[in-house]
Amino acid sequence: MGTILLLFLCFLPGCLALTSTNIDTDQSSLLALRAQISFDPQEILAKNWSVASPVCDWIGVTCSSGHRRVIALNISNMGLSGTLPPQLGNLSFLVSLDMRRNNFHGELPPELAQLNRLKVLNLGVNNLNGLLPNWFGSFQGLEFLSLRNNSFTGLMPPSISNMSRLAILILVNNSLEGKIPEEIFNISSLEMISLGVNSLSGSLPDYMCFHLPRLRFIGLSMNKFSGQIPSSLAQCSELQALSFSFNKFTGNTPKEIGNLKKLEVIYFAMNSLTGEIPREISNLHNLEKLNLGWNTMSGSIPVEIFNLSRLKLMSHAGNKLSGILPSTVFYGLPNLEELYLNDNNFVGDIPESISNSSRLYFIILSDNKFTGPIPISIGNLRLLQVLDLTSNNLVFCDSSYPELSFISSLANSKNLRKLSVSNNPLNGILPDSVGNLSTSLQTMYAYGCGLRDCIPDRIGNLSNLIILSLYNNQLTGSLPITVTGLLKLQAIMLHINKLSQVSLEYFCYFNNLGVISLSFNQIVGSIPECIGNVTSLRYLYLASNKFNFAPKTLWNLKDLLVLDLSSDSLTGPLPLDVANLKIATAIDIGGHCNIAYPKTLATLCYLAPEYGFQGLVSVKCDAYRFGIMMMEVFTRMSPSNEMFGENLSLRSWVLDSMASALAPIIDANLLSTTDDHFLVKLDCISSIMKVALNCTRESPGERSNIQDVLEALVKIKLQLLPLV
């Protein structure tokens, strides 16, 4: 009977293939794969995949228990380099192929299409390239497909919709373009659609959720999608996460998303959404992350949203929101960890109840119109890491007591890394208790605050300080010698004050100091010879003081980009030996000095705060020098580097890299591929480099003027922190 059936089967097409493959075929397929591996750091396959032992015992290989054929191959995370051989298509019983996290490159061999039993295909985090093939349609039983973090290009093939059992589709971080084929929205088994970090475009059809009853996650961030967010999203009733950030979506946020009761995450940041924040969002009781930042939404925050008790992250930053924060709003947010309301038009007090959100560690309320005192209760937030209240109308707490008492209260926040209260009319005195702030403090900004009297000695306790920025105040007296304890300092900015005594000797022993800015004070004295030892210096602003001697050793500072000694009382011939300086970028030793301190270069991109060169931009320098300087700052490469010559300049190097890959030429201290928000930072630097390239065009007539440059830089301002 069995023989008859077999004979019968053998007259059917396909039988030949079925009978002619066996475990030896599987073995030769795997050996073909092994032969294509050019790098096997732990020699796993080289040693283990030995013909002396049965295939089914090979590492990463699973055989079926009955007829002993290879049904699963899992060689993930072995550091392998190589290409995929066509023979892989001969593993005809393969159900699961997991090769993720290696360094496979090249295109997918079309023979893979023969793997028609495949349910799991994971090739994520490799270097595969080429088009996504149309033959994907032959994987009709596929349930899991991940090609994340590869270099696939071109369109998404509509034949994907042949995978009628597909649950997980992950194509994130490739270079796909074009529209999402509408057939995909008919794969009713889909649970996850993850297409972020590509160049996909077009709008989302209104019917997209008509046939996706199981969809839990849809990720489209960092693409070029446009049009409105469809209100029919509400029909994907299982949705837990919507990630649409960094696209070009327009129109209102649909109020229907308030029906998606299982939603935990809404990322709509960095689009062009308008209108008001829908009140209906407050129905989403499972919501943990709400990021509507950097759109153009208006109106006030519906107060009910402050009752979303599971919320951990709330960002409405960078919109046109207004109104007050009612005094008790934070009672309803016991789990809040990150709050971003910066760059809006909020008014009124910062509620004392903020401390009831006791898990807060990021509070960014800068660039609003908040008034009233800085709540002392902030000091109860023991987990606080970053407090940024820059550019509001806040005053110190107790007007009968001119010391900034909230600073004493912050002593409890042992993890505080960044404190910024700049550009608020605090009009007070920095208290001694500044020395009680956490030693984890890295950046302290209190410029433009009307601070008066002396800088307290105990500031020297802040031993991990990297940036100290107290410029544009009314500080008097001397700089305490205790600053010599701040050995990690990269930038000290005290310009525009009334300091009369600053011993520059204090700075002679710093190893990382890049910026000393003391212009516009009343400092009398000479510039010490030992300043020439501070070879890390790039910006030295001493203008408009009463320095009377500049030593020759200044010219040892070969990496100096800006030296400003204008309007000082220097007598006698200056020891000018500019030829010694490799980069005489913006030396200004007299004449009319016009220094502007725009929003800082670093905060423009919210780059690592430890990168201290905080936007000391001399408008006096022309656009060309400024452009070169920007390229230098970001590449850490001097135009005089020996790699540059007749055929390659710093500019052409940057220009070429912009066309191919910018990231490798960026200073690794500034940007590393392992950074959070790497792509966003890269994008930001790329925008800055475009400005720099415009500044440095060959023909002076084509160059941007410096005002336009500064405006362009301000426009590049991106808020990274709360983004996906």
Ligand X SMILES: *[C@@H]1O[C@H](CO)[C@@H](O)[C@H](O)[C@H]1NC(C)=O
| Residues lying near ligand X in the complex (CB under 6 A) | 21, 25, 47-48, 50, 53, 57, 59, 74, 76, 86-87, 89-90, 96, 98, 111, 120, 122, 125, 134-135, 137-138, 148-149, 159, 162, 172-173, 182-183, 186, 197, 211, 303-304, 307, 331-332, 355-356, 380, 408, 431-433, 436, 529-530, 532-533, 553, 673, 678-679, 690-691, 694, 712
With vertex at residue 178, the alpha carbon angle to CA 175 and CA 180, rounded to the nearest 5 degrees, is: 100
Output 640 or 661, the one with its CB closest to ligand X.
Answer: 661
Nearer to ligand X, 51 or 579 (CB): 51
Least separation in angstroms between residue 1's CB and ligand X is: 29
User: Which one, 320 or 715, has the nearer CB to ligand X?
Assistant: 715
Could you tell me which of 617, 641, 621 has the C-alpha nearest to residue 515?
A: 617
Contact 339, 316 (CB under 8 A): no
Q: Nearer to ligand X by C-beta: 185 or 520?
A: 185
DSSP letter assigned to residue 658? H
With b for 16 or more beta-carbon neighbours within 10 A and e for fewer, the 517-543 pattern comes to: bbbbbebebebbeebbbbeebbbbbbb
CB of 100 to ligand X, least distance (A): 8
State the burial class of residue 622 (Cβ atoms within 10 Å of its Cβ: 0-12, 13-18, 19+).
Answer: middle
Indicate the residue among 251 and 323 with the shorter CB distance to ligand X. Answer: 323
Q: Is 675 left (phi over 0), alpha (psi -120 to 50) or beta?
A: beta
Nearer to ligand X, 508 or 589 (CB): 508
Measured from the CB atom, the residue of 85 and 448 that comes closer to ligand X is 85
Q: Are 47 and 37 in contact (CB under 8 A)?
A: no
* CB of residue 188 to ligand X, shortest distance in Å: 9
Task: Rank residues 146 and 472 by Cβ distance to ligand X and give the closer one.
Answer: 146
> What is the CA 664 to chain-centroid distance, rounded?
16
C-beta of 723: minimal distance to ligand X in Å? Answer: 12
User: Least distance to ligand X from the beta carbon of 19, Å?
Assistant: 11
Q: How far is the CB of 36 from ligand X (least distance, A)?
A: 12
Closer to ligand X by CB, 499 or 604: give it. Answer: 604
Torsion of CA 139, 142, 148, 152, to 10 degrees: 10
How are strands ordered across the β-sheet holding 474-478? 452-453, 474-478, 498-501
Question: Closer CB to ligand X, residue 553 or residue 641?
Answer: 553
Dist CA 152 CA 129 (whole Å) = 4
Cβ-proximal residues to 20 (8 Å cutoff; 6+ apart), any chain:
none
Residue 546 Cβ vs ligand X, minimum distance, rounded to whole Å: 22
> Up-side HSE of residue 472: CA atoms within 13 Å toward CB?
15
382 near 406, Cβ under 8 Å?
no
C-alpha to C-alpha distance for 670 and 681, rounded to whole angstroms: 9
Count Cβ neighbours within 10 Å for each residue of 51-79 and write b for 16 or more, e otherwise.
eeeebbebebbebeeeeebbbbbbbbebe
Instruction: Give the nearest distance from C-beta 61 to ligand X in angstroms.
Output: 9
Q: Which is nearer to ligand X, 231 or 694 (CB)?
A: 694
Q: What single DSSP character describes residue 588?
A: B
Residue pair 644/665 in contact (Cβ under 8 Å)? The answer is no
Q: What is the closest distance, in whole angstroms, from the C-beta atom of residue 520 to ligand X in the complex? A: 27
Q: How far is the CB of 173 from ligand X (least distance, A)?
A: 3
Strands 241-243 and 127-131: unpaired
Pairing mode, strands 127-131 and 37-39: unpaired
Least Å distance, CB 628 to ligand X, is: 16
Instruction: In whole angstroms, give the CA distance from residue 28 to residue 34.
Output: 10
- Residue 426 or 496 with smaller CB distance to ligand X: 426
Pairing verdict, β 61-63 and 70-74? antiparallel
- Say how far apart CA 190 and CA 477 lie, in whole Å: 69
Which residue, 380 or 519, is less far from ligand X as judged by CB? 380
Give the DSSP per-residue string, 105-132: EEPPPGGGGG-TT--EEE--SSEEEEEP
Closer Cβ to ligand X, 589 or 712, answer by number: 712
In 3D, which of 628, 627, 630, 625 has the Cα closest to residue 613?
630
Nearest distance, CB of residue 408 and ligand X, angstroms:
4
Rounded to the nearest whole angstrom, what is the least distance from the CB of residue 105 to ligand X in the complex? 11
- Cβ of residue 261: shortest distance to ligand X, in angstroms? 17
> What single-letter amino acid sits at 481?
I
451: closest CA among 395, 503, 388? 395
Smallest CA-to-CA distance from 432 within 388, 476, 480 is with: 480
- Residue 14 falls in which region: left (phi positive, over 0), alpha (psi -120 to 50) or beta: left
Cα separation of 692 and 12, whole Å? 69
Which residue, 412 or 641, is less far from ligand X as judged by CB?
A: 412
| Cβ–Cβ < 8 Å for 507, 534 | yes
Tell me how far, at minimum, the Cβ of 645 lies from ligand X, in Å.
27
Smaller CB separation from ligand X, 484 or 533: 533
Residue 686 CA: distances (Å) to CA of 368, 594, 616, 628, 681:
28, 28, 20, 14, 8
Q: Which residue is nearest to ligand X (CB)?
A: 137
The first and second tokens of residue 277, run together, are 């924040």
Q: How far is the CB of 643 from ligand X (least distance, A)?
A: 25
Q: Closest approach of Cβ 375 to ligand X, in Å? A: 11
